[in-house]
Amino acid sequence: MRATTKLILIRHGETEDNRAQVFQGQGGRGLNARGRDQAARLAARLAGARIRLAGVYCSDLERARETAEILASTLGLQAIADPELREVHLGGWQGLSRAEVQARYPDEWAAWRRGDDIRRGGGETYAELGDRMTRALDRIAERHAGEAVGVVSHGAAIKSVIGRVLRIGAGGLRAFQVPANTGVCLVERDGERRYRLVVWNDAAHLGDALAEALAAPPA
């Protein structure tokens, strides 16, 4: 039986679009100063961890790639980009604020808020997102059987994986807060290709997550 692989799923660091609550999808910009600091904090934390990472993989979108390069540089590794680790494609929603989406796509906005798995702005469904994320993670796990690897991706992309692991449909994903920027989720894939969730949205390197959540405005 093949050994268990530990997949450390990491959301990219903060961007200015995150701060402005703009839907980035497969567009968007690189990290802002806070995002680079978040990535550096996580890199330092991982460098001191007892488990040695065998590799760092990432979405090829700028914000994820930049986060991964900061991590990989600190850990003495090379970040490997994979387009299948990208965020969900949001079509016409990309680059718009919440208010703009509500004004331009009121029916889609209402359906998304209900938890319907729609093609927002003509983009991808969560089901399609989950399919390609699972393909990518399966490939990485096969390559690193018995090892631990970092995987830098995006909020909805990581949620889609957790939904698959917990057998939760698209509607149920809205019950999960998007992981914090550089928040960590750990999933394990055993020798029989079964996944299980071990850690959800660990952001201890950023401070007191509970205090920040209580102080934050509703999403």
For residue 163, count other CB atoms closer than 10 A to its CB. 23
Catalytic one of 66, 87, 108, 147? 87
Q: How far apart are the first and last CA of the chain?
A: 44
Is 147 designated active site?
Answer: no
Is 100 designated active site?
Answer: no
Q: Output Rg (C-alpha) for the chain, integer angstroms.
A: 17
Distance CA 29, CA 4 (A): 35
**Distance, C-alpha 69 to centroid of its chain:** 16
Distance CA 24, CA 35 (A): 15
SS3 content of the chain, % helix, strand, coil (to 5): 45, 15, 35
- Point out the residues that are catalytic: 12, 87
